[in-house]
């Protein structure tokens, strides 16, 4: 045998003539090449991975820091003011407090509670920073008598108080992402039970893991397999935060790997306290129409109409439970499923010793008790559109979303609720009584201060995110007629008792066009009619005859002067309201009539304060006189007569001291009402979004909505009209002894006879002799 060990590679002869040696050399050469290649690739991969992670770190830091420290501007409505003599009953104040999230309790030991004590209410007010000063939490006793507040006392001590303001409702905020909304909370504003409850349910190893949790993933897998349903998720709170901040919902391995990498970076970069607080402000909890509800601050208002700090354990448990599937566990649509989920969360809280046995038993006994609405006292999208429009010229988007501004507005939560309720209730009644498809009618409403033009309530639609009050321009029909009569009164050739001819009229329409031949709504012709009656009964023929005499161009010019804008094209059809306006634009037009002859841009904002509560911008009322006082008085009297004896006469409030005008467009497509009393100007539109015909006129549609509103908010009569007593049918002088009369202001030197059989025969004889 050969003395060499043939099984030892180092004993193989190294020459080309040995096939085994050659094969060995080839293998070793390729192995070296592969090692060099893989080593190079590994180095390249390491560099690429490092660069990618460096990029992710930059992205995470920029976005997370930007959103974490952004303080969106918060927007508040008007606070309800309480004082002796205020027309507010105990039940009405109870409704106000309930809308603000106050809860009736046997005791008022903590803010946000009130107690009924005989015919009085004891309220533990929350602290709040008003524009002028900060209010500490205060206990106030409010006594009532005769449907009004009689006395106010601070308790303990029974110190008499002159004025108390409730918390103003927070109606919205300016958050960077379109369609998202949230109330950003600081760590000190978050209940401990929420922070620890989130960990107990969603991520028990949150304080220990580096951003992801292998044991948590395995545990969730086993629990879900064992129970046969999705009871636990494998993602940590940090991973959920990454998904909400940085990633889409696509289900790909690459996205999951990126999620893990970003979670590790986020966990390494920031403290656990920062991460849990960011999660509390960021997590998605519900969809409210076009608005996505993010964060537990807004979620508390959305589901319970209460601040987060005031929630009980069973309420906090429901919010935590909803995280797993806001639609699946929606307590309004799926109450049984939501209740089971809530009780599971309570059980997990108990296992982690966050609540004791008694607290668990009490919490499980509680109903879901979510609010019936969607946090309506908190979020008013139609009004917020107007706030955005007003602030857009003065503030950058960064200022509104980052600097913690506080915006105080003119919105009245009480009027806003009443307006929304009036629309829903009246349209439902109309659809039912007329056999219309449920939900087929739409409506919008604007309520403004009659004297200043400040916007008090805006309803953009019925169960809809589209803002019809601002964006829907529809033909206003007879709402335009007061402009025609205003121009006639200002001409000096007409007064309220002037006789107009209501007869067939043909107006040339231009080359190769048929003449325009308008008709009265009922097709009748009324002959000679007094001017006030032509407006009151909305007679088209008399109005066109009057308008053609005054001049269409002059009337269009007068309209432009009233609204501070351009005159519309001078087509004769303008006289009957062939003009498309939004309810907000109508409110500006009628504001001239309601205020006694002054134009004021409808204004939603009072002031803007910075994060230190210092006023940085105010929006004072700016009025511009547009109508002489004597003419304004005449027009108001005519519009009051329109309500009492004209197209508004069927309203139960027709003779309550209200001035107003109904309007109906061609084909009954649009039903309008615009009217005012001593406090409020109200504009209402009713119709269909597809612009199809309806069976409604202004009197049977929009006026019915106003009637419902007036039932809720009451009416403050306009001052009594001073002037001459006239017969409402003929427009001649009359006396109360002769029958019903109306009072209208007339020129001092007007020679107007008495209605037959009602005059002073001696005085009439002297007047007749003197006139010869």
Q: What six digits make up the tokens of 651?
A: 């309203």
Q: Which residue has the tokens 């008495």?
A: 754
> Catalytic one among 202, 259, 310, 633?
202
In this structure, the strands spanning 598-599 and 624-625 are antiparallel
Most distant CA pair in the chain, distance: 167
Is the Cβ–Cβ distance between 544 and 572 less than 8 Å? yes
Distance CA 178, CA 290 (A): 10
CB atoms inside a 10 Å sphere around CB 764: 13
Q: What six digits make up the tokens of 283?
A: 């997590």
Bond preceding residue 627 cis, omega within 30 of 0 = no
Q: What six digits make up the tokens of 429?
A: 């009644």
Distance CA 58, CA 428 (A): 55
Q: What six digits make up the tokens of 47?
A: 């560099």
Mapped onto helix, strand or coil, the DSSP state of residue 230 is: coil
Give phi and psi for 708, each to the nearest 5.
-65, -40
For CA atoms 193, 199, 205, 206, give the dihedral sign.
negative
Is the Cβ–Cβ distance between 321 and 370 less than 8 Å? no
- Reported as type and span, the H/E element at residue 687 is strand 680-687
Annotation says 503 is catalytic: no
- Counting other chains too, the contacts that 565-568 makes at CB distance below 8 Å and 24 or more residues apart are none
- Reported as type and span, the H/E element at residue 160 is strand 159-160
Annotation says 431 is catalytic: no
> Catalytic one among 444, 478, 545, 632?
478
List 180's β-bridge partners, or say none: 292
Q: What six digits make up the tokens of 76?
A: 């508040």
Give phi and psi for 66, each to the nearest 5.
-65, -45
Which residues are designated catalytic? 202, 478
């Amino acid at each position: 045998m050969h003395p060499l060990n043939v099984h030892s590679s180092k004993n193989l002869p190294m020459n080309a003539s040995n096939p085994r040696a050659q094969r060995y050399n080839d293998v070793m050469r390729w192995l070296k090449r592969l090692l060099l290649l893989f080593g190079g690739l590994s180095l390249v991969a390491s560099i690429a991975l490092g660069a990618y992670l460096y990029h992710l770190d930059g992205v995470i830091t920029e976005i997370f820091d930007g959103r974490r420290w952004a303080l969106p501007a918060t927007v508040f409505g008007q606070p309800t003011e309480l004082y002796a003599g205020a027309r507010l009953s105990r039940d009405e104040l109870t409704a106000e407090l309930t809308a603000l999230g106050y809860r009736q309790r046997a005791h008022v030991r903590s803010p946000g509670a009130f107690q009924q004590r005989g015919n009085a209410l004891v309220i533990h007010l929350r602290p709040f920073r008003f524009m002028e000063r900060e209010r500490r939490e205060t206990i106030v006793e409010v006594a009532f008598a005769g449907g009004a507040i009689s006395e106010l006392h601070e308790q303990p001590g029974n110190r008499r108080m002159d004025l108390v303001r409730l918390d103003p409702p927070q109606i919205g905020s300016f958050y960077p992402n379109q369609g998202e909304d949230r109330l950003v909370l600081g760590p000190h504003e978050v209940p401990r039970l929420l922070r620890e409850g989130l960990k107990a349910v969603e991520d028990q190893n949150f304080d220990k893991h580096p951003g992801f949790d292998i044991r948590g993933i395995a545990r969730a897998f086993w629990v879900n397999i064992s129970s046969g349903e999705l009871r636990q998720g494998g993602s940590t709170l940090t991973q959920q935060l990454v998904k909400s901040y940085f990633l889409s919902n696509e289900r790909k391995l690459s996205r999951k790997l990126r999620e893990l990498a970003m979670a590790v970076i986020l966990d390494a970069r920031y403290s656990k306290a920062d991460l849990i607080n960011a999660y509390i402000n960021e997590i998605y909890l519900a969809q409210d129409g076009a608005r996505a509800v993010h964060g537990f601050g807004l979620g508390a208002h959305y589901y319970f109409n209460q601040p987060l700090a005031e929630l009980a354990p069973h309420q906090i448990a429901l919010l935590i439970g909803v995280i797993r599937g806001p639609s699946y566990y929606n307590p309004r649509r799926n109450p049984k499923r939501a209740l089971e989920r809530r009780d599971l969360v309570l059980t997990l809280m108990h296992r982690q010793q966050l609540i004791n046995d008694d607290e668990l038993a009490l919490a499980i006994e509680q109903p879901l008790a979510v609010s019936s609405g969607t946090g309506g006292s908190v979020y008013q999208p139609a009004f917020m559109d107007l706030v955005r429009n007003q602030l857009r010229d003065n503030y950058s988007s960064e200022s509104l979303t980052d600097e913690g501004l506080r915006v105080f507005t003119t919105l009245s939560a009480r009027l806003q609720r009443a307006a929304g309720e009036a629309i829903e209730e009246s349209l439902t009644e109309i659809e039912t009584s007329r056999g219309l498809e449920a939900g087929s009618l739409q409506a919008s409403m604007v309520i403004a201060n009659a004297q200043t033009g400040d916007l008090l309530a805006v309803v953009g639609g019925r169960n809809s995110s589209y803002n019809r009050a601002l964006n829907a321009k529809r033909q206003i029909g007879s709402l335009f007629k007061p402009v025609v009569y205003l121009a006639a009164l200002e001409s000096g050739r007409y007064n309220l008792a002037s006789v107009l001819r209501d007869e067939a009229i043909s107006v040339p329409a231009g080359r190769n066009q048929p003449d325009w031949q308008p008709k009265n709504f009922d097709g009748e012709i009324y002959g000679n009619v007094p001017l006030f009656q032509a407006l009151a009964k909305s007679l088209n023929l008399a109005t066109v005859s009057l308008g053609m005499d005054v001049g269409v161009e002059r009337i269009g010019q007068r309209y432009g002067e009233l609204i501070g804008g351009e005159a519309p094209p001078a087509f004769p059809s303008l006289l009957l309201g062939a003009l498309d306006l939004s309810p907000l634009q109508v409110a500006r037009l009628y504001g001239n009539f309601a205020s006694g002859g002054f134009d004021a841009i409808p204004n939603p904002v009072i002031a803007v304060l910075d994060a230190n509560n210092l006023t940085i911008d105010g929006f004072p009322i700016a009025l511009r006189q547009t109508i002489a006082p004597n003419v304004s008085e005449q027009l108001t009297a005519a519009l009051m007569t329109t309500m009492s004896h004209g197209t508004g006469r069927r309203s139960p409030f027709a003779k309550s001291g209200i001035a107003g005008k109904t309007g109906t467009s061609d084909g009954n497509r649009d039903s309008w009402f615009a009217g005012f009393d001593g406090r409020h100007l109200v504009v209402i539109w009713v119709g269909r979004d597809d612009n199809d015909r309806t069976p409604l006129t202004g009197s049977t549609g929009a006026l019915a909505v106003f009637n419902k509103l007036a039932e809720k908010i009451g009416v403050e009569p306009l001052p009594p009209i001073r002037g001459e007593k006239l017969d409402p049918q003929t427009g001649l002088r009359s006396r109360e002894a002769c029958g019903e009369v109306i009072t209208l202001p007339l020129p001092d030197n007007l020679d107007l006879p008495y209605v037959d059989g009602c005059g002073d025969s001696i005085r009439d004889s002297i007047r007749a002799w003197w006139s010869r």
